[in-house]
Structure 1
Amino acid sequence: MALFLTKIDPTKPLIQQGPFDCILHKLYDSDWKQNLQDFASRNPNIPIIASPESIDILRNRISMLETVSKLKINNTGVPKQITITEEFVNHGGVVFKVYVAGKYFRCVKRKSLPDISEEKLVNLKGSLPFSQVSNLAAAGGGEGCKFEKTEMPPESLVKELVEGLKEELRLNLFNFDVIRDGKNKENYLVIDINYFPGYAKMPDFESVITDFLRDVVHKDINCGDN
């Protein structure tokens, strides 16, 4: 199947552009939302990836992580949230990034913030100012063979998270970051979710995105957005 990408002009009505088999976007302003709504009302069978309402959930950190809490999946959760920043959890200096494109997903590991001493965590009451987070990031984490030997999360757990988030968020293109709790290796915490992230670092991203768009056009994936 040949795939043709057409750049949309967001300053013009969508109904004056096209034709389109599906619309993929990452815009948020009210004019664009109205543009999408007008197009969808006249073209109810053309998938829109994704609905502004679903995207808005991920633009607020509290509502984003509340979504994870609703899933009630064993051995998963989120860090505690406070007004200034979130709880710092030692996690071995490794973050697992899960990329989702419809029914396809990939989990990869990346270096993250290094662990800090329990004594320092107690003094800081579990949270770190942003300036100290930046210093930790500069120090680097997950170094050497420790990073290489870090085991990936169970695939069954990753799949359960993927399916749960897809259903709760009503999104098909997103990624999320997971860390392993340093105090309990059986527990995993979701710390971030992003809509339509950069997929270039995901293995086989070109074929995955192509297959995803093909599935959307062929109605093999229900976007649930219009």
Structure 2
Amino acid sequence: MLSTKEPSRQVIGYWMSEKKSQKLNWSEFASVCKENGLELVKLDLNEPLEMQGPFTAILHKLTDIIALAMQGDAKATRMMENIESFLDAHPEVAVIDPLPNVRQLLDRSLSYSVIHSSDLGTIDVFTPTYVELTSSDVQENIATLSSAGVKFPFVCKPLVAHGSSNAHKFCYQMSIIFNEEGVSDCKPPCVAQTFINHNAVLYKIFSVGDDHYVVERPSLKNFYSCDQETIHFDSHDVSKADSTSALSILDPEDSIGDINMPDPEKFARIAEILNKELGMALLGIDVVLENGTNRYAIIDINAYPGYDGYPNFFGSLLSCIQKTIADHSSHLAEVSQEGNPDDSGFDTGYSSDEKKKNLLRGRVHKKTMLYGPGNTNCTSGS
């Protein structure tokens, strides 16, 4: 039975690591919420959530725990079962962001397939050719790369885009493979993505619901197919705001020439399309401009990023929470007014209550069903 809370106040259950809470200055956000009629309550995922609510919405950064559960960690699995059983029992609770959609984003191959199948191509935005490698056989992988159109050099990335704090270093460890000999350095399961030269400039789109902000970050310098040995690197060491990695220093022969300024409207459309396609509000989208063509390439997406450099992040997050709650309440009312969903006479296999829960919850995004784990060799134009 749920504990008693003041009915006039909207309660937001949240979970994130202590490190992220401190980084985002969460105590200050709690004050902002209180001023606007919201109460923040941190979830204890080791205890039943029924006694910790009731909640109007749940806001979370569960990527590390989800990733561990996907890898079979028993403790993480119990935590996820705890929160998912609560959400299944309470479809009236809004969630930022839906757990199946976050799982989809954690799988790089799956998330790239969403980009590839979206409307981004209509505005000349692409994701570089890629393929998932699952074999330890080098010759088999070389054939797979060739079939998928992945060219040298390519970036080899862990399949799971996030992971536990204990495995933090591994999760961001990537490699640049320059030739066939280097393919032996790939550690499956992983994703190989054709490297796009972009003069060491990365644009990170921080998306918060309907709002977004773009920051410029350092990135990898230009690389070319050659007999060079594999380079291993930590993506955080290269692309943080204050990074000073040697991998970000252009070689003398790489003359930048005329600099093409990015189009803010293009960034806005990218954020809008991916928010809709992924069914998520909190995203960090990594974009580079391809040398020569100036085409926009999306090379990675992250759930609930750090938002370093985002002005008035609390204001945008508050608006996002309020809009999510309002939209969810409106959807709840619409479903309630529909009455019996089986009036058509067809047997759907669901009771009225079960049907309503499915409609209200909206847990599984359409792309999760269209692109299952078995469809791993989707590619996109480079």
TM over 0.5: yes
* 2:257 matches 1:210: no
Rg comparison, structure with higher value = 2
Q: Name the SS for the 1:213 alignment partner.
A: helix
Over 3 Å counting, the alpha-carbon distance change for 1:188 and 1:45 in structure 2 is: same
Task: Describe the superposition over 1:112-139 as per-residue Cα deviations: whole angstroms up to 9, x where unpaired.
Answer: 11224xxxx1326xx98342788x9421
Over 3 Å counting, the alpha-carbon distance change for 1:101 and 1:150 in structure 2 is: farther
Counterpart-to-counterpart distance in 2, 1:142 and 1:206: 34
Counterpart-to-counterpart distance in 2, 1:218 and 1:142: 47
Q: Which residue of 2 aligns with 1:86?
A: 193
Tell me how far 1:225 sits from its aligned partner: 4.3
Q: Name the SS for the 1:174 alignment partner.
A: strand
Over 3 Å counting, the alpha-carbon distance change for 1:128 and 1:169 in structure 2 is: farther
Between the two proteins, the alignment pairs up a number of residues equal to 215
Task: Describe the superposition over 1:4-58 as per-residue Cα deviations: whole angstroms up to 9, x where unpaired.
Answer: 3211000112112122221012331333333233222332221012222111111
Counterpart-to-counterpart distance in 2, 1:142 and 1:175: 24
Q: Which amino acid aligns with 1:93?
A: A
Counterpart-to-counterpart distance in 1, 2:269 and 2:328: 20
Q: Which amino acid aligns with 2:320?
A: F
Q: Is the 8 A contact 1:109 1:152 kept in 2?
A: no
Over 3 Å counting, the alpha-carbon distance change for 1:151 and 1:24 in structure 2 is: farther
Structure 2 residue runs of 5 or longer lacking an equivalent are 1-35, 70-76, 134-185, 187-191, 239-244, 332-359, 364-382
Of the three residues 110, 120, 123, the one matched with 2:226 is 123
Identical aligned pairs, as a percentage? 25
Over 3 Å counting, the alpha-carbon distance change for 1:132 and 1:35 in structure 2 is: closer
Q: Which amino acid aligns with 1:81?
A: Y
* 2:62 matches 1:62: no
* 2:117 matches 1:8: no
Counterpart-to-counterpart distance in 2, 1:50 and 1:31: 20
Q: Is the 8 A contact 2:284 2:305 kept in 1?
A: yes
Counterpart-to-counterpart distance in 2, 1:215 and 1:139: 43
Q: TM-score, normalised by structure 2?
A: 0.50
Tell me how far 1:184 sits from its aligned partner: 0.6
Q: Which residue of 2 aligns with 1:111?
A: 218
Q: Is the 8 A contact 1:178 1:190 kept in 2?
A: yes
* 2:199 matches 1:98: no
Over 3 Å counting, the alpha-carbon distance change for 1:128 and 1:182 in structure 2 is: farther
Counterpart-to-counterpart distance in 2, 1:197 and 1:159: 17
Q: Is the 8 A contact 1:170 1:225 kept in 2?
A: no
Task: Choose between structure 1 and 2 for higher RCO, CA contacts under 8 A separated by at least 6 residues.
Answer: 1
Structure 1 residue runs of 5 or longer lacking an equivalent are none
* 2:211 matches 1:176: no
Of the three residues 269, 280, 283, the one matched with 1:160 is 269
Task: Describe the superposition over 1:172-212 as per-residue Cα deviations: whole angstroms up to 9, x where unpaired.
Answer: 11111000001211x11101101111124322212211221
Tell me how far 1:87 sits from its aligned partner: 1.7
Over 3 Å counting, the alpha-carbon distance change for 1:132 and 1:3 in structure 2 is: closer
Q: Is the 8 A contact 1:176 1:193 kept in 2?
A: yes
Counterpart-to-counterpart distance in 2, 1:203 and 1:220: 27
Over 3 Å counting, the alpha-carbon distance change for 1:31 and 1:188 in structure 2 is: same
Q: Name the SS for the 2:225 alignment partner.
A: helix
Which structure carries more helix by proportion?
Answer: 2
Counterpart-to-counterpart distance in 1, 2:39 and 2:99: 24
